[in-house]
Amino acid sequence: MSVLAPRARLMAAIVPVLALTGTGLLVQPATAAPARPTSTISDVDVVAHRGSSGAAPENTLAAVRLALRQRADVVENDIQRTADGELVIVHDTTLTRTTDVEQVFPGRAPWNVGDFTLAEIKQLDAGSWFDPAFAGERVPTLREWVEAIGGRAGMLLEPKAPALYPGIDIELDKELRSMPAFRSALMRDDVVVQSFDHEWLHGYKDLAPDVPVGLLFGTRPTSAQVTEAATWAEQVNPALGVSEQATIDQVHQAGMEIHVWTVNTGQDMRRAARWGVDGIITNYPQVLRDIVGH
């Protein structure tokens, strides 16, 4: 997992002079040197989406451990905050889909993550919904998650719905920097914080300028969005379904990396790899690992 901050800054100065075609895509002059080397399938990062979530309950330590055994290059997560200010790894803003919260706390609807303390959340079974073999898996804290990865993979961190948790940018920065495993990963360029909330992410980048960030997109990023992102971000990470070769080329021309999500079939993995993406985010890292090798 490589972070391209120096090149992004350089390309930010170059991008404004690129010509615009009638399709609105950025293109370089014919005499310009390639923006980045041509990648091969073996260059693609295997990014385990919520851990190895196709074979283990998402965002649990079991999913992290399995992703590491499957030689994922990067493990992705989702971060939210408890009622008592602890950062935990949960995707949904409620606990109903991935835990037994309705049985343990029947009178606490709508069971929002932010309405429960860490001690209460630690009582929940976060594994049985996926398979009885994972009964007793707990919702991990951010610290537990980071320490489980250690130096064995990169970290792709996604604060989920950060607008629900005022001040989470400051708390996230403080918590991460208190962990040796995070500090070491940051020195190795093995950490990225991403979000769909670009305004929030920009504020986080101002707070933590040394931490690489990635902009998530559920729609195809426009030329203007890519150009603007290149002035402060290191990655643009769209859904595979809204991406095409021109999208990847445009992001690379702007000096950034592109990681597509969530890619779960071999056919789609090969297609994304042929396009030259830097990383593929998948629930099945073992399948992607077999495809990319190395």
Question: Does 16 score more than 80 pLDDT?
Answer: no
Number of domains in the chain: 1
Q: What is the arithmetic mean of pLDDT over 136-140?
A: 98
CA triple 104-107-108, angle to 5 deg? 85
pLDDT band at residue 293, thresholds of 50, 70 and 90? Answer: confident
**Residue 41 confidence (pLDDT):** 74
> Could you give the percent of the chain with pLDDT greater than 70?
86
Span 2-15, pLDDT tens digits: 554 433 433 333 33
Q: What is the arithmetic mean of pLDDT over 275-288?
A: 98
pLDDT band at residue 40, thresholds of 50, 70 and 90? Answer: low
Q: What is the spatial distance between Cα 155 and Cα 73, in angstroms, rounded to a whole number?
A: 9
**Residue 27 confidence (pLDDT):** 33
Q: Is-contact 259 280, C-beta < 8 A? A: yes
Q: Which of 49, 202, 252, 294 is catalytic?
A: 49
228 CB neighbour count, 10 Å cutoff: 18
Q: Which of 91, 198, 252, 294 is catalytic?
A: 91
Comparing 7 with 251, the larger pLDDT belongs to: 251
Q: What is the arithmetic mean of pLDDT over 209-225?
A: 98
Does the annotation mark 259 as catalytic? no
Q: What is the spatial distance between Cα 180 and Cα 162, in angstroms, rounded to a whole number?
A: 24
Average pLDDT, the chain: 89
**Residue 5 confidence (pLDDT):** 42
Q: What is the arithmetic mean of pLDDT over 145-154?
A: 97
Domain that holds residue 137: 5-292
Kindly report the CATH number assigned to the domain that includes residue 171: 3.20.20.190
Q: What is the arithmetic mean of pLDDT over 210-239?
A: 98
Question: Does 224 score more than 60 pLDDT?
Answer: yes
254 CB neighbour count, 10 Å cutoff: 26
Q: What is the arithmetic mean of pLDDT over 213-221?
A: 98
Does the annotation mark 91 as catalytic? yes
**CA distances to 80, 126, 223 from 148, in Å:** 18, 17, 39
Dig out the tokens for 141 from the structure: 């804290």
Question: Does 38 score more than 90 pLDDT?
Answer: no
Question: Does 124 score more than 90 pLDDT?
Answer: yes
Give the DSSP letter string of 233-278. -SEEEEBGGG--HHHHHHHHHTT-EEEEB---SHHHHHHHHHHT-S
